[in-house]
Amino acid sequence: MDSITHLALGACMGEAFAGKTLGKKAMLWGAIAQSIPDIDFISALWMDTSSGLLAHRGFTHSFLFCAFITPLFALLAEYLHRPHNIRLGKWMLFFGGVIIAHIFIDAFNNYGVGWWEPFSHQRISFNAIYVADPFFSLWPAIACVALIYLKKRLPQRKKWWQMGLGVSALYLVYCLVNKSTIDREVKNTLQQQQIHYTRYFTSPAPLQNWLWYVVAGNDSGYHVGFRSTFDRKKGINFQYFPRNDSLLKLLSSKEDLPKLIRFSQQFYTVEKWGDTLVFNDLRFGQMIGWQHPLGKFVFHYYLLQPADNALVVQRGRLEGWNWNTIKILLNRILGN
């Protein structure tokens, strides 16, 4: 989830925990604790891009990190706010809950999180909500702004943090329901269209939860398409993208490749663009793929020019967007 949403959620959780006791300082503690797992961004200062991809949402999003950082936060807060009537155990529960909420929510996205690091490199990903979904983020943001301006003792403060956290939680449940519906329909469609696959996933298209991006295939290549929760027809118009592993023989150096393959969870293709080779991670979707089925993939890594990959995960995400693109997206969401 994006950083602003984490800050707003944390602020609401801080208010719920100790707003009456600490005032707006409780919101600050919640916002900081909710954001602390994203401290892994500093790895970009010394790691190459492919290593940084694995470091992000890795150890700092693990249960071990949570177990390590929680008592440090609790001891610091307990010391700074003396005298007070909050036991150390309550501080521990608060900070532990806020940090676990962060790594749990991040698992709803397609990037994946390393809950079990460093003992296992398995990434947990529910693929149920887009990384920046305004329908999820709006409510805690509104609540956070209201809590900043409302005075400490006003009873309305409780209603605001309850709204910010409650509506977002209900929306996550709604996303899981949509996910379950789409997965069931996609599996039936793949069977009806006689598409053989060993792995597949569905993930929301940008900024909403009704149009879903579908990828299914095997080591030879992948079928890519879109399915809306409002679609009336049963079939999916798939485009096939060969994986092209044979092109990797053209690489003189393969230092980045094992890391990229591990990061992609095998959902990748290789393409030749002019005089360079490109590694596509299919999990992050296409540039306006609902409008251009053969469009480039958002995550494309230049294998022959590693220095040109500073912004690789969301490269070109909004490229080509205009009002017509938004109109087509809305129509596609509605099943047209």
In which band, very low, low, confident or very high, does the pLDDT at 228 lie, cut at 50, 70 and 90? very high
> Which pLDDT belongs to residue 6?
97
Instruction: For 81-112, write each residue's pLDDT tens digit.
Output: 988 889 999 999 999 999 999 999 999 999 99
**Residues 137-146, mean pLDDT to the nearest whole number:** 97
Instruction: Give the burial class of 141: count Cβ atoms within 10 A of its Cβ; 0-12 exposed, 13-18 middle, 19 or more buried.
Output: buried
> Which pLDDT belongs to residue 83?
80
Q: For 224, list phi and psi in degrees, rounded to 5.
A: -125, 135
- Residue 314: pLDDT above 90? no
- Residue 248: pLDDT above 90? yes
Longest Cα pair distance anywhere in the chain, in angstroms?
68
**Cα distance between residue 48 and residue 78, in whole Å:** 39
- Cis status of the peptide bond prior to 83, with omega within 30 of 0: yes
In which band, very low, low, confident or very high, does the pLDDT at 119 lie, cut at 50, 70 and 90? very high
Is there a contact between 268 and 219 (Cβ–Cβ < 8 Å)?
A: no
> Which pLDDT belongs to residue 150?
93
> Which pLDDT belongs to residue 46?
87
Which amino acid is it at 294?
L
Q: For 198, list phi and psi in degrees, rounded to 5.
A: -110, -15
**Residues 197-209, mean pLDDT to the nearest whole number:** 97
- Looking up tokens 């800050």, which residue turns up? 7
The closest alpha carbon to 175, from 229, 222, 227, belongs to: 229
In which band, very low, low, confident or very high, does the pLDDT at 25 lie, cut at 50, 70 and 90? very high
Count CA within 13 A, CB hemisphere, residue 30.
30
Is there a contact between 131 and 106 (Cβ–Cβ < 8 Å)?
A: no
* The 3-state secondary structure of the chain, one letter per residue: CCHHHHHHHHHHHHHHHHHHHHCHHHHHHHHHHHHHHHHHHHHHHCCCHHHHHHHCCCHHHCHHHHHHHHHHHHHHHHHHCCCCCCCHHHHHHHHHHHHHHHHHHHCCCCCCECCCCCCCCCCECCCCCCCCCHHHHHHHHHHHHHHHHCCCCCCHHHHHHHHHHHHHHHHHHHHHHHHHHHHHHHHHHHHHCCCCCCEEEEEECCCCCCEEEEEEEECCEEEEEEEECCCCCCCCCCEEEECCHHHHHHCCCCCCHHHHHHHHCCCEEEEEECCEEEEEEEEEEECCCCCCCCCCEEEEEECCCHHHCCCCCCCCCCCCCCHHHHHHHHHHHCCC
**Cα distance between residue 8 and residue 14, in whole Å:** 10
**Is the pTM here over 0.85, yes or no?**
yes
Torsion of CA 272, 274, 275, 279, to 10 degrees: -30
Question: Which of these ranges, 24-33, 176-185, 302-311, has the smallest mean pLDDT?
Answer: 302-311
**Cα distance between residue 264 and residue 205, in whole Å:** 18
In which band, very low, low, confident or very high, does the pLDDT at 317 lie, cut at 50, 70 and 90? confident
